[in-house]
């Protein structure tokens, strides 16, 4: 949790976080959203491995790793 001193600081921090989230890989964002939806008690433990595989086996994951190792910004394609 973060606290800010005033609304102006709050809005600045919200914009920073928005830009950070928007810079993440599209498939990872999709998986995160779906995982949050699956956090209901009716979902059996361990379900969601498909989301992990979707991200880790994607072209975007490879791009992210190559960008990190190459010290450059990744170019996400949502694939």
For residues 54 and 35, what is the distance between their CA atoms, to the nearest angstrom? 12
**What pTM did the predictor assign?**
0.52
Does position 9 have pLDDT exceeding 80, yes or no?
A: yes
Task: With beta carbons less than 8 A apart as the criterion, state whether 35 and 48 touch.
Answer: yes
Q: Is 63 a domain residue?
A: yes
Q: Is 47 a domain residue?
A: yes
Q: Is 24 a domain residue?
A: yes
Q: Would you report the helix, strand and coil content of the chain in percent, each value rounded to 5?
A: 60, 0, 40
What domain count does the chain have? 1
Q: Is 20 a domain residue?
A: yes
Cα 47 to Cα 21, 37, 56: the distances in Å are 24, 12, 16
pLDDT at 43: 62
Quote the percentage of the chain above a pLDDT of 90.
Answer: 42
pLDDT at 68: 93
Helix, coil or strand: residue 76: coil
């Amino acid at each position: 949790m973060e606290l800010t001193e005033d609304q102006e600081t709050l809005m600045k921090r919200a914009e920073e976080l928005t830009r950070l989230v928007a810079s993440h890989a599209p498939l990872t964002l999709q998986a995160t959203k779906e995982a949050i939806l699956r956090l209901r008690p009716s979902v059996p433990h361990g379900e969601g491995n498909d989301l992990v595989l979707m991200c880790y086996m994607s072209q975007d994951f490879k791009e992210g790793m190559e960008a990190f190792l190459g010290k450059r910004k990744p170019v996400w394609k949502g694939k």
